[in-house]
Chains A and B, each alone.
Chain A
Amino acid sequence: MASEHLNKLPLMKRVFAFALLLTALWACTSDDGGEVPPDGTPSEPDTATFERGTMLVNWADNIIVPSYEAFATELEVLATAFDAFKTDASTANLVSFRAAWLSSYKSWQQVSMFEIGPAESQGLRLNMNTYPTAPDKIEANMASTGYDLSLSSNRDAKGFPSLDYLINGLADTDDAIVSKYNDVDRDALIAYIDAVLADMQNLTKEVLDGWNNGYRDTFVSNDGASATASVDRYVNDYIFYYEKFLRAGKMGIPLGVFSGSSLPDKLEAYYEGSVSNELFLEGLSAFQDFFNGKHFGKSSSGESLASYLDALNELKDGESLNDIVNDQFNKAREAVVALAPFREELENNAVPTQMSTAYDEVQRAVPLLKVDMVSAMSISIDFVDADGD
């Protein structure tokens, strides 16, 4: 055996052999965080440890890609509904176009958090859902002949929020809105919505194609533990989404927690006025389902952050962190469900106490994710490329 053989070696040679091993080890570890060979060879099954690779496969194949596919389908339905409205701009067709808009907007909440890879390089979230939208810019664009929606300056003149304005905000009643689509502006309006829908569909198609043609494998095979590994990077993006877009964007900023007074016009779907809560809740549920590894559109689930936490056996205060996080999501949901539409909460209450309380529940999940979860997983948040002690 090798060990017996080693025992026969003189001390200095053994020391040397060990030093050589260490050098090899050291040479295999690169200076800047380390990169994992992207060949995707899964490591041997080890019952004792959690396989990050398995979780990545579950994320990509059972959650992320199916969610994008469903979203792309929703956008097609939306485009079809618009075609009907185009042909006959009736109130009934407006109502069904609006229903398709809401349905696809909800579907968007299921993919908005996946801003990594193709979505990140496209800047999908900013292109799809920058609000508040800028009616002046939309009007100016329509008045001009050539506008380029791919310009970053047009981000607040397209996507779901622009549609919100164009189908909910042009006038007070549906009849008044419909009459706009049968008046002098008809062509400009139709053309603009066509352009917005085409832009949304193109971007989504590119992201989905990106996942299907290569990125899925890159994502799944980068299963290491460095700051550039998929899990570390995505967990950062995932928490960033919760803090910045779900918590602050949909609730905190309109509520005025960062400015001192409420700003209802910063609500998502402001012109529709009654669905901001629904959109938030859809996003929260999608976020929680992802945490639990629930397969998209199914009741089954796979390896997830929740099962990772369980595997790490992070039992604290006699309760598992997994349960604590899920409990907090549930509390947040209950608190938001009990609210009137956000816009009413903000416009009808001088001090929107109830919504503030609900926001606090949403907020309470942030330290659980950003402190407890990542610390248990030894994932560095906002990885800083600097030396440690």
Chain B
Amino acid sequence: MTSLKEKYINRSVEAAPLAVFRIFFGLMMFLSIVRFWSYGWVDKLYVQPKFFFSYYGFEWVKPLGGYTYFIFVICGISALLVAIGYKYRLAMLLFFLSFTYIELMDKTTYLNHYYFISLLSFLMIFLPANVYFAVDAAKNTRKAFQYVPVWTLNSIKLLLGIVYFYAGLAKLNSDWLLKAMPLKIWLPSKFDIPFIGDLLSLEWVQYAFSWIGAGYDLLIPFLLLYARTRIFAFTLVVIFHVLTRVLFPIGMFPYIMIVSTLVFFDAKLHGKILSLFARVLQFSKELFDTKRSWAPKSRVLSKATGRMLVLFFALQLLVPFRYLLYPGELFWTEEGYRFSWRVMLTEKSGYAQFKIVDGESGKWFYVDNTDFLTPFQEKQMAFQADFILEYAQYLKNHFEKQGHRNIEVYVDSQVALNGRLSTSFVDPTVDMATQQESFAPKNWIVPFKDEIKGL
């Protein structure tokens, strides 16, 4: 037990990999923010819309109108500070808070990748990533350390491993493996991609992509862990992520993952990377080679951090399985779907028409969704029950303010999942105005007509 603890937690290792990880993470995040801003997405996604979909319990997190840009400024600057390792802990905390705030503003834009960044940046607050090759360490050599306890690297590896492995587990279902869905829909539409476009419409290619994709996700953490398979695994990582980048619009994420997996390599590589940086920036890396090992400031702090991380990872392992507490097909109801590394699993779209009934006069009319939602919001709303409910509540309040009384809201919705013909999604006889959001199962979702086997 003690030897295991020594091997995976306390053992001192070179701090270089942690420093490299910090630098790349900061730079990638800075570029992501710049890219996001330059595409005009801040305005389009967070300033223009009249209404925002909130996460349950985070209704108070809203965009700040024109000041929303300010949050992005904080986020971008703190990312740069993280990269250079200046006032690292504060910068990391600010980055985590601002980035997470941005993600919580509107769940329309939810992406597993963004959730991953939030988790990673939370974890990094507790890592001594500024003791080596960082401005903090350079300004005060008492804070410069050449070695760190191995848990600091292992916690990053564990988080990456969970992301991949759970993404693999999620693919172990009959739609993905036995029907090659949704790749069977997506791949043929990429016929105009050079070299491989023609192949993508072949059925065996769609099955091959599905099975190899699932196998890749499940195995890659282990292949990266073992020295003998590491180079092979990294090659796979590059191939896989470049392919996904070519096939799907997933922005910066592939690059972030490729760079993140460098953390699995041993310190020699990172030493070389840092030497290169040092040469470009024209200063000596030797400054940081103090031969000293970093340790938490006190035993209490060390214990607290340890407990916190155990709790953090326990949650990471459990949260994706919360869907087991809900009845019905997960892909259909999406109760417990988010925050679980279910990436690119479904081709889903829907149509939702809201009927407003004046309970007193019996008069009714349909809502033109474009009056309230952006096309993106409407699209996301139409097949996700929590969106439908929140929007229905919003409509109720809106029309009550206009003087209507005893408003009832009914939804006529059709949803298509993974190539199945669309069917009714929400019980059209249930008055949404009387329903409340909660963690309880939403019994007004019409049960799925088919069956998807698997995890």
Contact = CB atoms under 8 A, between A and B. Distances in A.
A265 interface: no
B258 to A, nearest CB: 12
A19 interface: yes
Contact of A19 (B186, B189, B235, B251): B235
Contact of B194 (A25, A49, A317, A379): A25
Contact of A372 (B113, B202, B421): B421
A279 B439 CA distance: 50
Nearest to B186: A378
B349 A257 contact: no
B265 to A, nearest CB: 16
A321 B344 contact: no
A312 B188 contact: yes
A298 interface: no
Given A371-B415, A384-B379, A258 B421 contact: no
A386 B376 contact: yes
Interface string B410-431: 0000111001111000000000
A376 B185 contact: yes
A387 B235 contact: no
B419 A260 contact: no
A259 B404 CA distance: 13
Interface string A229-262: 1000000000000000000100010001111110
B419 A376 contact: yes
Given A375-B349, A377-B189, A314 B419 contact: yes
Contact of B365 (A15, A257, A384): A257
B260 interface: no
B368 interface: yes
B422 A367 contact: yes
Contacts of A33: 249
A382 B189 contact: no
B281 interface: no
A388 interface: yes
Main SS of chain B's interface residues? mixed
Interface in A216-233: 223-226, 229
B89 interface: no
Specify which of B250, B350, B366 lies most central, judged by the most chain A CB atoms within 10 Å of its CB: B366
B245 interface: yes
Contact of B350 (A259, A371, A382, A388): A371
Contacts of A22: 238-239, 242-243
B283 interface: no
Interface in B364-378: 364-368, 375-376, 378
Interface in A101-150: none
Interface in B159-189: 185-186, 188-189
B419 A382 contact: no
A21 B195 contact: yes
Contact of A374 (B190, B349, B367, B368): B349
Contacts of A387: 111, 113, 249-253
Contacts of B202: 48
A366 B351 contact: yes
A48 B375 CA distance: 34
B198 A46 contact: yes
Contacts of B348: 375
Q: Which one of B343, B348, B365 has the highest number of Cβ atoms from chain A below 10 Å of its Cβ?
A: B365
Interface string A185-198: 00000000000000
B39 interface: yes
Contacts of A183: none
Interface string A308-334: 000010101100010010000000000
Interface string B283-320: 00000000000000000000000000000000000000
Nearest to A36: B192
A353 interface: no
29 contacts: A15-B235, A18-B239, A22-B239, A25-B242, A33-B249, A48-B201, A49-B198, A49-B201, A223-B192, A257-B365, A258-B366, A258-B368, A260-B365, A324-B421, A363-B353, A367-B414, A371-B422, A372-B421, A375-B347, A377-B189, A378-B189, A381-B375, A384-B375, A385-B39, A386-B109, A387-B249, A387-B250, A387-B252, A388-B248
**List of 4 A-B pairs having minimum Cβ-Cβ separation, nearest first:** A382-B375, A378-B189, A387-B251, A316-B421
Interface of B: 39, 41, 45, 109, 111-113, 185-186, 188-196, 198, 201-202, 235, 238-239, 242-243, 245-246, 248-253, 343-344, 347-351, 353, 358, 363-368, 375-376, 378-379, 414-416, 419-422
Interface of A: 15, 18-19, 21-26, 28-29, 33-34, 36, 43, 46, 48-49, 223-226, 229, 248, 252, 256-261, 312, 314, 316-317, 321, 324, 363, 366-368, 370-372, 374-379, 381-382, 384-389
Given A48-B202, A316-B420, A371-B351, 4 more contacts: A22-B238, A43-B198, A377-B189, A381-B375
